[in-house]
Structure 1
Protein backbone atom coordinates (compact mmCIF):
# COMPACT_ATOMS: atom_id res chain seq x y z
CA UNK A 1 0.00 0.00 0.00
CA UNK A 2 2.70 2.44 0.98
CA UNK A 3 4.59 2.06 -2.31
CA UNK A 4 1.50 3.09 -4.30
CA UNK A 5 1.14 6.27 -2.21
CA UNK A 6 4.85 7.05 -2.46
CA UNK A 7 4.83 6.75 -6.25
CA UNK A 8 1.71 8.92 -6.39
CA UNK A 9 3.27 11.69 -4.29
CA UNK A 10 6.61 11.50 -6.08
CA UNK A 11 4.91 12.31 -9.39
CA UNK A 12 4.68 15.86 -8.01
CA UNK A 13 7.20 16.19 -5.18
CA UNK A 14 10.32 14.25 -4.20
CA UNK A 15 10.44 12.87 -0.66
CA UNK A 16 13.33 11.32 1.21
CA UNK A 17 12.74 7.99 2.94
CA UNK A 18 12.46 9.81 6.27
CA UNK A 19 9.98 12.37 4.91
CA UNK A 20 7.82 9.66 3.36
CA UNK A 21 7.86 7.62 6.57
CA UNK A 22 6.66 10.73 8.42
CA UNK A 23 3.87 11.32 5.89
CA UNK A 24 2.79 7.67 5.84
CA UNK A 25 2.54 7.62 9.63
CA UNK A 26 -0.36 10.09 9.34
CA UNK A 27 -2.46 7.78 7.13
CA UNK A 28 -4.66 4.92 8.33
CA UNK A 29 -5.11 1.90 6.02
CA UNK A 30 -8.65 0.54 5.72
CA UNK A 31 -10.38 -2.14 3.70
CA UNK A 32 -14.03 -2.04 2.63
CA UNK A 33 -16.28 -4.64 1.05
CA UNK A 34 -18.28 -4.16 -2.13
CA UNK A 35 -21.41 -2.04 -1.40
CA UNK A 36 -19.97 -0.78 1.91
CA UNK A 37 -20.08 2.98 2.58
CA UNK A 38 -17.03 5.13 3.28
CA UNK A 39 -19.26 8.19 3.68
CA UNK A 40 -23.02 8.46 4.17
CA UNK A 41 -25.03 11.64 3.64
CA UNK A 42 -25.84 13.34 6.92
CA UNK A 43 -22.87 11.91 8.80
CA UNK A 44 -19.47 13.38 9.67
CA UNK A 45 -16.65 12.89 7.17
CA UNK A 46 -13.57 11.61 8.94
CA UNK A 47 -11.10 11.46 6.06
CA UNK A 48 -9.89 12.13 2.57
CA UNK A 49 -9.40 8.72 0.96
CA UNK A 50 -6.52 7.73 -1.33
CA UNK A 51 -7.56 4.68 -3.35
CA UNK A 52 -4.95 1.93 -3.31
CA UNK A 53 -7.17 -0.66 -4.99
CA UNK A 54 -10.79 -0.96 -6.01
CA UNK A 55 -13.48 1.35 -7.33
CA UNK A 56 -15.83 3.81 -5.61
CA UNK A 57 -18.56 6.23 -6.53
CA UNK A 58 -19.58 9.52 -4.96
CA UNK A 59 -23.20 10.56 -5.38
CA UNK A 60 -25.96 12.87 -4.17
CA UNK A 61 -29.49 11.60 -3.57
CA UNK A 62 -32.18 14.21 -4.25
CA UNK A 63 -35.51 14.59 -2.45
CA UNK A 64 -37.19 12.23 -4.91
CA UNK A 65 -34.64 9.52 -4.14
CA UNK A 66 -32.76 9.82 -7.45
CA UNK A 67 -28.99 9.37 -7.26
CA UNK A 68 -26.74 11.81 -9.12
CA UNK A 69 -23.20 10.48 -9.52
CA UNK A 70 -20.53 13.13 -9.15
CA UNK A 71 -17.41 11.02 -9.36
CA UNK A 72 -15.91 7.60 -9.72
CA UNK A 73 -12.56 6.90 -8.09
CA UNK A 74 -10.20 4.05 -8.82
CA UNK A 75 -6.58 3.28 -8.04
CA UNK A 76 -4.33 6.30 -7.55
CA UNK A 77 -7.30 8.71 -7.13
CA UNK A 78 -8.56 10.66 -4.11
CA UNK A 79 -12.19 10.86 -3.01
CA UNK A 80 -14.20 12.44 -0.20
CA UNK A 81 -17.09 14.82 0.40
CA UNK A 82 -14.77 17.83 0.41
CA UNK A 83 -17.40 20.33 1.52
CA UNK A 84 -17.99 18.23 4.63
CA UNK A 85 -14.32 17.29 5.10
CA UNK A 86 -12.91 20.81 4.97
CA UNK A 87 -15.98 22.51 6.46
CA UNK A 88 -16.36 19.94 9.25
CA UNK A 89 -20.06 19.70 8.39
CA UNK A 90 -22.37 16.72 7.80
CA UNK A 91 -21.91 15.03 4.44
CA UNK A 92 -24.22 15.88 1.56
CA UNK A 93 -22.75 13.06 -0.54
CA UNK A 94 -22.51 9.33 -0.09
CA UNK A 95 -19.49 7.30 -1.16
CA UNK A 96 -19.76 3.55 -1.61
CA UNK A 97 -17.68 0.72 -2.98
CA UNK A 98 -18.41 -0.73 -6.40
CA UNK A 99 -15.66 -3.30 -5.77
CA UNK A 100 -13.73 -4.37 -2.68
CA UNK A 101 -11.55 -1.38 -1.79
CA UNK A 102 -8.32 -0.62 0.02
CA UNK A 103 -7.75 3.02 0.92
CA UNK A 104 -5.38 5.14 2.93
CA UNK A 105 -7.36 7.56 5.10
CA UNK A 106 -6.09 11.02 5.97
CA UNK A 107 -7.90 13.02 8.66
CA UNK A 108 -8.09 16.78 8.28
CA UNK A 109 -6.04 17.21 11.45
CA UNK A 110 -3.27 14.97 10.09
CA UNK A 111 -3.39 16.66 6.69
CA UNK A 112 -2.91 20.06 8.32
CA UNK A 113 -0.08 18.68 10.45
CA UNK A 114 1.93 17.21 7.58
CA UNK A 115 1.38 20.33 5.47
CA UNK A 116 2.61 22.54 8.33
CA UNK A 117 5.62 20.31 8.94
CA UNK A 118 6.56 19.57 5.31
CA UNK A 119 6.17 22.39 2.80
CA UNK A 120 6.57 19.80 0.02
CA UNK A 121 3.29 18.18 1.07
CA UNK A 122 1.49 21.51 1.14
CA UNK A 123 2.71 21.97 -2.44
CA UNK A 124 1.55 18.44 -3.32
CA UNK A 125 -1.97 18.98 -1.97
CA UNK A 126 -2.24 22.38 -3.66
CA UNK A 127 -1.33 20.81 -7.01
CA UNK A 128 -3.82 17.97 -6.45
CA UNK A 129 -6.56 20.45 -5.47
CA UNK A 130 -5.87 22.56 -8.55
CA UNK A 131 -6.12 19.49 -10.79
CA UNK A 132 -9.40 18.60 -9.09
CA UNK A 133 -10.80 22.09 -9.65
CA UNK A 134 -9.87 21.91 -13.33
CA UNK A 135 -11.50 18.48 -13.71
CA UNK A 136 -14.65 19.72 -11.98
CA UNK A 137 -14.83 22.75 -14.27
CA UNK A 138 -14.40 20.52 -17.36
CA UNK A 139 -17.19 18.24 -16.12
CA UNK A 140 -19.59 21.12 -15.45
CA UNK A 141 -18.87 22.72 -18.83
CA UNK A 142 -19.30 19.35 -20.53
CA UNK A 143 -22.70 18.89 -18.86
CA UNK A 144 -23.72 22.42 -19.90
CA UNK A 145 -22.46 22.42 -23.49
CA UNK A 146 -22.04 18.88 -24.81
CA UNK A 147 -24.77 16.57 -26.00
CA UNK A 148 -25.06 13.07 -24.57
CA UNK A 149 -22.93 11.43 -27.29
CA UNK A 150 -20.15 14.00 -26.81
CA UNK A 151 -20.16 13.40 -23.04
CA UNK A 152 -19.99 9.64 -23.65
CA UNK A 153 -17.07 9.97 -26.09
CA UNK A 154 -15.23 12.35 -23.77
CA UNK A 155 -15.55 9.95 -20.82
CA UNK A 156 -14.46 7.01 -22.99
CA UNK A 157 -11.41 8.97 -24.17
CA UNK A 158 -10.44 10.20 -20.68
CA UNK A 159 -11.20 7.04 -18.65
CA UNK A 160 -11.60 3.95 -20.84
CA UNK A 161 -11.02 1.65 -17.84
CA UNK A 162 -14.32 2.80 -16.31
CA UNK A 163 -16.22 1.17 -19.15
CA UNK A 164 -14.78 -2.23 -18.17
CA UNK A 165 -15.44 -1.84 -14.43
CA UNK A 166 -18.58 0.26 -13.93
CA UNK A 167 -22.07 -1.14 -14.59
CA UNK A 168 -23.76 0.53 -17.55
CA UNK A 169 -26.64 1.80 -15.41
CA UNK A 170 -24.16 3.77 -13.27
CA UNK A 171 -22.27 5.08 -16.32
CA UNK A 172 -25.60 6.22 -17.77
CA UNK A 173 -26.44 8.00 -14.51
CA UNK A 174 -23.04 9.71 -14.46
CA UNK A 175 -23.51 10.89 -18.06
CA UNK A 176 -27.12 11.99 -17.47
CA UNK A 177 -28.60 9.60 -20.03
CA UNK A 178 -30.84 6.54 -19.94
CA UNK A 179 -29.40 3.03 -19.97
CA UNK A 180 -30.93 2.54 -23.43
CA UNK A 181 -29.22 5.66 -24.80
CA UNK A 182 -25.88 4.50 -23.45
CA UNK A 183 -26.39 1.10 -25.10
CA UNK A 184 -26.97 2.82 -28.46
CA UNK A 185 -23.71 4.74 -28.07
CA UNK A 186 -21.69 1.64 -27.25
CA UNK A 187 -23.22 -0.50 -30.00
Structure 2
Protein backbone atom coordinates (compact mmCIF):
# COMPACT_ATOMS: atom_id res chain seq x y z
CA UNK A 1 0.00 0.00 0.00
CA UNK A 2 2.76 2.43 0.85
CA UNK A 3 4.40 1.57 -2.49
CA UNK A 4 1.36 2.94 -4.31
CA UNK A 5 1.54 6.23 -2.41
CA UNK A 6 5.28 6.51 -2.97
CA UNK A 7 4.85 5.96 -6.72
CA UNK A 8 2.10 8.58 -6.71
CA UNK A 9 4.24 11.18 -4.93
CA UNK A 10 7.31 10.39 -7.02
CA UNK A 11 5.44 11.24 -10.23
CA UNK A 12 6.06 14.80 -9.03
CA UNK A 13 8.94 14.76 -6.51
CA UNK A 14 11.60 12.17 -5.64
CA UNK A 15 11.94 11.01 -2.03
CA UNK A 16 14.74 9.23 -0.23
CA UNK A 17 13.81 6.15 1.80
CA UNK A 18 14.24 8.16 4.99
CA UNK A 19 12.00 10.96 3.74
CA UNK A 20 9.34 8.52 2.67
CA UNK A 21 9.47 6.72 6.03
CA UNK A 22 8.91 10.10 7.71
CA UNK A 23 5.98 10.83 5.38
CA UNK A 24 4.40 7.42 6.02
CA UNK A 25 4.69 7.89 9.78
CA UNK A 26 1.97 10.57 9.45
CA UNK A 27 -0.49 8.39 7.52
CA UNK A 28 -3.01 5.90 8.84
CA UNK A 29 -4.79 3.16 6.93
CA UNK A 30 -8.56 3.27 6.79
CA UNK A 31 -10.75 0.51 5.33
CA UNK A 32 -14.36 1.26 4.51
CA UNK A 33 -17.16 -0.88 3.13
CA UNK A 34 -19.43 -0.08 0.21
CA UNK A 35 -22.09 2.50 1.26
CA UNK A 36 -20.07 3.51 4.35
CA UNK A 37 -19.42 7.21 4.90
CA UNK A 38 -15.93 8.60 5.10
CA UNK A 39 -17.44 11.97 6.00
CA UNK A 40 -20.91 13.43 6.51
CA UNK A 41 -22.12 17.03 6.38
CA UNK A 42 -21.73 18.64 9.80
CA UNK A 43 -19.03 16.18 10.93
CA UNK A 44 -16.01 17.69 12.64
CA UNK A 45 -14.21 14.55 13.84
CA UNK A 46 -13.24 13.35 10.34
CA UNK A 47 -13.43 16.66 8.49
CA UNK A 48 -9.78 17.68 8.70
CA UNK A 49 -8.12 14.87 6.75
CA UNK A 50 -6.75 14.36 3.26
CA UNK A 51 -7.40 10.86 1.97
CA UNK A 52 -5.47 9.04 -0.73
CA UNK A 53 -7.51 6.31 -2.42
CA UNK A 54 -5.45 3.11 -2.59
CA UNK A 55 -8.36 0.99 -3.79
CA UNK A 56 -12.07 1.46 -4.29
CA UNK A 57 -14.27 4.31 -5.43
CA UNK A 58 -15.88 7.17 -3.50
CA UNK A 59 -18.25 9.99 -4.32
CA UNK A 60 -18.32 13.50 -2.93
CA UNK A 61 -21.75 15.08 -2.85
CA UNK A 62 -23.95 17.70 -1.28
CA UNK A 63 -27.61 17.24 -0.48
CA UNK A 64 -29.70 20.35 -1.07
CA UNK A 65 -32.51 21.45 1.20
CA UNK A 66 -35.03 19.83 -1.14
CA UNK A 67 -33.24 16.47 -0.75
CA UNK A 68 -31.60 16.49 -4.18
CA UNK A 69 -28.12 14.93 -4.30
CA UNK A 70 -25.50 16.90 -6.24
CA UNK A 71 -22.38 14.86 -7.02
CA UNK A 72 -19.28 17.04 -7.08
CA UNK A 73 -16.61 14.42 -7.65
CA UNK A 74 -15.83 10.75 -7.97
CA UNK A 75 -12.58 9.55 -6.39
CA UNK A 76 -11.15 6.30 -7.80
CA UNK A 77 -7.74 4.78 -7.07
CA UNK A 78 -4.76 7.16 -7.15
CA UNK A 79 -6.95 10.18 -6.27
CA UNK A 80 -7.14 12.41 -3.23
CA UNK A 81 -10.45 13.19 -1.60
CA UNK A 82 -11.36 15.56 1.23
CA UNK A 83 -13.63 18.37 2.27
CA UNK A 84 -11.12 21.07 1.41
CA UNK A 85 -13.24 23.88 2.82
CA UNK A 86 -13.48 22.11 6.18
CA UNK A 87 -9.72 21.51 6.13
CA UNK A 88 -8.77 25.04 5.27
CA UNK A 89 -11.16 26.77 7.66
CA UNK A 90 -10.98 24.04 10.32
CA UNK A 91 -14.76 23.93 10.26
CA UNK A 92 -17.42 21.24 10.05
CA UNK A 93 -17.91 19.31 6.83
CA UNK A 94 -20.09 20.79 4.10
CA UNK A 95 -20.07 17.68 1.87
CA UNK A 96 -20.67 13.98 2.23
CA UNK A 97 -18.09 11.44 1.08
CA UNK A 98 -19.30 7.87 0.77
CA UNK A 99 -17.94 4.65 -0.66
CA UNK A 100 -19.37 3.27 -3.88
CA UNK A 101 -17.13 0.22 -3.49
CA UNK A 102 -15.17 -1.30 -0.63
CA UNK A 103 -12.29 1.13 -0.27
CA UNK A 104 -8.89 1.36 1.31
CA UNK A 105 -7.43 4.78 2.06
CA UNK A 106 -4.29 6.32 3.44
CA UNK A 107 -5.32 9.31 5.54
CA UNK A 108 -3.34 12.20 6.89
CA UNK A 109 -4.63 14.95 9.13
CA UNK A 110 -4.53 18.44 7.74
CA UNK A 111 -2.25 19.46 10.63
CA UNK A 112 0.20 16.62 9.89
CA UNK A 113 0.18 17.45 6.20
CA UNK A 114 1.02 21.06 7.00
CA UNK A 115 3.82 19.90 9.34
CA UNK A 116 5.31 17.69 6.61
CA UNK A 117 5.16 20.59 4.16
CA UNK A 118 7.14 22.73 6.63
CA UNK A 119 9.74 19.98 7.03
CA UNK A 120 10.06 19.05 3.34
CA UNK A 121 9.85 21.72 0.68
CA UNK A 122 9.36 19.01 -1.93
CA UNK A 123 6.16 17.84 -0.19
CA UNK A 124 4.87 21.40 -0.17
CA UNK A 125 5.60 21.43 -3.91
CA UNK A 126 3.80 18.08 -4.34
CA UNK A 127 0.64 19.19 -2.51
CA UNK A 128 0.64 22.53 -4.33
CA UNK A 129 0.79 20.73 -7.69
CA UNK A 130 -2.03 18.39 -6.61
CA UNK A 131 -4.17 21.30 -5.39
CA UNK A 132 -3.59 23.25 -8.60
CA UNK A 133 -4.57 20.20 -10.64
CA UNK A 134 -7.73 19.90 -8.58
CA UNK A 135 -8.58 23.57 -9.14
CA UNK A 136 -8.07 23.14 -12.89
CA UNK A 137 -10.37 20.10 -12.90
CA UNK A 138 -13.07 21.93 -10.94
CA UNK A 139 -12.82 24.93 -13.25
CA UNK A 140 -13.13 22.67 -16.30
CA UNK A 141 -16.17 20.99 -14.73
CA UNK A 142 -17.88 24.32 -13.92
CA UNK A 143 -17.25 25.66 -17.43
CA UNK A 144 -18.56 22.42 -18.90
CA UNK A 145 -21.75 22.69 -16.83
CA UNK A 146 -22.19 26.31 -17.94
CA UNK A 147 -21.34 25.95 -21.62
CA UNK A 148 -21.86 22.39 -22.82
CA UNK A 149 -25.06 20.55 -23.57
CA UNK A 150 -25.80 17.18 -21.96
CA UNK A 151 -24.31 15.16 -24.83
CA UNK A 152 -21.07 17.17 -24.76
CA UNK A 153 -20.80 16.79 -20.98
CA UNK A 154 -21.33 13.04 -21.25
CA UNK A 155 -18.71 12.67 -24.00
CA UNK A 156 -16.27 14.78 -21.96
CA UNK A 157 -16.89 12.57 -18.91
CA UNK A 158 -16.19 9.41 -20.94
CA UNK A 159 -13.04 10.97 -22.40
CA UNK A 160 -11.64 12.31 -19.12
CA UNK A 161 -12.48 9.24 -17.01
CA UNK A 162 -12.15 6.16 -19.23
CA UNK A 163 -13.37 3.00 -17.52
CA UNK A 164 -15.20 4.83 -14.75
CA UNK A 165 -18.55 4.52 -16.52
CA UNK A 166 -18.34 0.72 -16.15
CA UNK A 167 -18.06 1.13 -12.37
CA UNK A 168 -20.91 3.60 -11.95
CA UNK A 169 -24.66 3.32 -12.37
CA UNK A 170 -26.38 5.51 -14.93
CA UNK A 171 -28.18 7.22 -12.05
CA UNK A 172 -24.85 8.31 -10.52
CA UNK A 173 -23.42 9.47 -13.85
CA UNK A 174 -26.64 11.40 -14.58
CA UNK A 175 -26.45 13.12 -11.19
CA UNK A 176 -22.81 14.06 -11.81
CA UNK A 177 -23.67 15.47 -15.25
CA UNK A 178 -26.73 17.34 -13.97
CA UNK A 179 -29.21 15.48 -16.17
CA UNK A 180 -32.03 13.02 -15.59
CA UNK A 181 -31.43 9.29 -15.84
CA UNK A 182 -33.78 9.20 -18.84
CA UNK A 183 -31.72 11.85 -20.64
CA UNK A 184 -28.53 9.93 -19.98
CA UNK A 185 -30.14 6.73 -21.30
CA UNK A 186 -30.97 8.52 -24.55
CA UNK A 187 -27.40 9.85 -24.79
CA UNK A 188 -25.72 6.53 -24.10
CA UNK A 189 -27.83 4.39 -26.43
Both proteins in one fold, TM over 0.5: yes
State how far apart, in whole Å, the 2-side matches of 1:87 and 1:46 are. Answer: 9
State how far apart, in whole Å, the 2-side matches of 1:177 and 1:170 are. Answer: 10
Secondary structure at the counterpart of residue 96 of structure 1: strand
Secondary structure at the counterpart of residue 41 of structure 2: coil
1:155-170 alignment, distance < 5 Å: 155-170=157-172
Partner of residue 128, structure 2:
126
State how far apart, in whole Å, the 1-side matches of 2:178 and 2:157 are. Answer: 12
Partner of residue 53, structure 1:
55
Runs of at least 5 residues in structure 1 that lack an aligned partner in the other structure: none
Secondary structure at the counterpart of residue 72 of structure 1: strand
State how far apart, in whole Å, the 1-side matches of 2:181 and 2:96 are. Answer: 22
Q: Deviation string for 1:133-171 (max 9, x for gaps)?
A: 100100000000000000000000010221010111010
Q: Deviation string for 1:69-118 (max 9, x for gaps)?
A: 00000000000110011211111100000000000001011101110111
Deviation at 1:46, TM superposition (A): 3.3
Partner of residue 81, structure 2:
79
State how far apart, in whole Å, the 2-side matches of 1:113 and 1:89 are. Answer: 19
1:30-49 alignment, distance < 5 Å: 30-44=30-44, 45-49=47-51
State how far apart, in whole Å, the 2-side matches of 1:138 and 1:164 are. Answer: 23
Matched, 1:8 2:1: no
State how far apart, in whole Å, the 2-side matches of 1:4 and 1:161 are. Answer: 20
Partner of residue 28, structure 1:
28
State how far apart, in whole Å, the 1-side matches of 2:94 and 2:122 are. Answer: 31
Q: How many residues align?
A: 187
Secondary structure at the counterpart of residue 41 of structure 1: coil
Secondary structure at the counterpart of residue 69 of structure 1: strand
Secondary structure at the counterpart of residue 97 of structure 2: strand
Q: Structure 1 stretches (4+) deviating beyond 4 angstroms?
A: none
1:138-157 alignment, distance < 5 Å: 138-157=140-159
State how far apart, in whole Å, the 1-side matches of 2:182 and 2:111 are. Answer: 45
Runs of at least 5 residues in structure 2 that lack an aligned partner in the other structure: none
Deviation at 1:186, TM superposition (A): 1.2
Q: Specify which of 63, 66, 73 is matched with residue 64 of structure 1.
A: 66
